Structures are given as structure tokens and as C-alpha cells.
Structure 1
Amino acid sequence: MRSFDHRPTKLYKIPQRGRVAGVCAGVADYLDISTGAVRFMTVVLALFTSIIPALIIYAILAMVLDAKPYDLYEDEQEEEFWKQTRKAPDYTAAELRRRFRDIERRTTDMEAYMTSKRFRLEREFQKLED
């Protein structure tokens, strides 16, 4: 069972995939982009702004961010769902609403069948066959 402080939408560092502390790997995973691209953007940002503030920000993130737990997702499908949620939360919420409406419709159809005369008649025929 997962801990409540392990949230799938939280930004984590990933030390096992990182070069220094795993901050760039964590940002890349969070944004679902290449780790190399994040590293490149970090170096470019450091060169254009100043290396000292960039190093300070990186060090702060390395200390503040928790390491990504191994059991954060139950399977790849759940991981993909949460990545899509981070990318487009409005779309994901709409997709969930659509799925729940579909489940509600199917449940209503099933309830209507289970309470219908046809279901009772078919059940009586099955009893006669047994």
C-alpha cells in the first residue's frame, strides 16, 4: 500500500537516473520530456544567467525534493495516466467524466434489465431447464 505523502503528481528527483543528484531526471520525468533536453536547458540557462545562481537553485532542489519512490505507480498504465494528468489536467478530467458517464449508463441499463419482466421470464425458463 502506498503512503499518502507519495503523490503521483508531485515533482521528485530520481537519483538513480541522474548525473549529480537526479534533479534534471526528476524534472524530465515530471514534464515527460527527455532528460538530455532538461540537462541542456539547465546548462544554457546557467551560462546565460550566471552559473552561481543556477548552482544554488540546483542545490536547493536537490535538498528539498524527495527521491521518487519505487512503488509510486502500480503499473505502467497508471504511470501513463498520471503523466497525461500532469500534461493536460483539463482533458484528463473530461475523460474521467466521460468514463464515469459511460459506467453510469451501463449500470442503469443493467439495472433496468435485472428488474425487467424479460429477465424474470428468462430466469424462470432456466429453472425449468435445470
Structure 2
Amino acid sequence: MSSKRRELLRDDRNGKIAGVCAGIADYFGWELWLVRVVVLASVLLGFGGILPVLYLVGWIVLEKKSVAEQRSGEPVRAAAERPVEVKTRVWQRGEAPPRALNHLKQQFDSIEYRLRDMESYVTSSKFQLHREFNKL
């Protein structure tokens, strides 16, 4: 588990309208579709007066996630560099165990190919030649 303090931010990359639902899903570690279904069901079941107001307030008050990442100076990681999150419950965010295992296998295969390339370069005569030139 990360020791970094989490903030409630609007997720402008995964959001449809303003990213408020995506930000809530990210903050609590839930699936995005579940948050959207709960909001839609709440509007249809009678909370229609207050929810749009709360959504609008969230849109105005919450900072965009991309802006917060730029301000903090943390580089945005590519999908291949992010840690794999395995979900244990239906509503949790993450990958199903078989899919996560496949994702990890692809990452290890990629690392192995890079390691093979480095090993073939280091054991080649080209590496020895460059090494001798650098000594001069």
C-alpha cells in the first residue's frame, strides 16, 4: 500500500463530463462504472435535485488531476510502468487475476528481451572495441 496521501481530484483523463465521478472512483478505489451507475440511479430514484448541484460544486471546487501532477512535479507514468492492481471484489478498481497475471507476464517478457539485448551487446566484439577506444 502506498504511503502517499491521497487527494480527491477530478480525473480529467477518464471523465466524461468533468471527471467528478472518475475522481471519486479513483479516490475510493472503486470501478468507474459503479460510481456512474450509483449517480444515475440516485438521480432516477429521487435525489435529482441535490446531485446535479453537488456535481457542479465538485466541478468548480475540485482541482484537475493532471494539473495537480504537473504542480507536484511527479512524472505521469505510462500504463506499462504502473503497478498492477489485482481486484478481489467486483466493485474494486483493478484487473481480474488472470488478466493481471497476463499483464505481469508481458512485463517480465519485455524485461527479459531487454536483458538479452544487453547481454548480447556486452559479450560482442563491438562492445570490446568501444571499450578499448574509450580507454584511449
Which interval holds the TM-score relative to the shorter structure?
0.3 to 0.5
TM-score after normalising by structure 2: 0.46
More relative contact order, 1 or 2 (CA 8 Å, 6+ apart): 1
The structure that is helix-richer by fraction is 1
Q: Work out which of the two has the higher radius of gyration on C-alpha atoms and give 1 or 2.
A: 1
TM-score after normalising by structure 1: 0.48
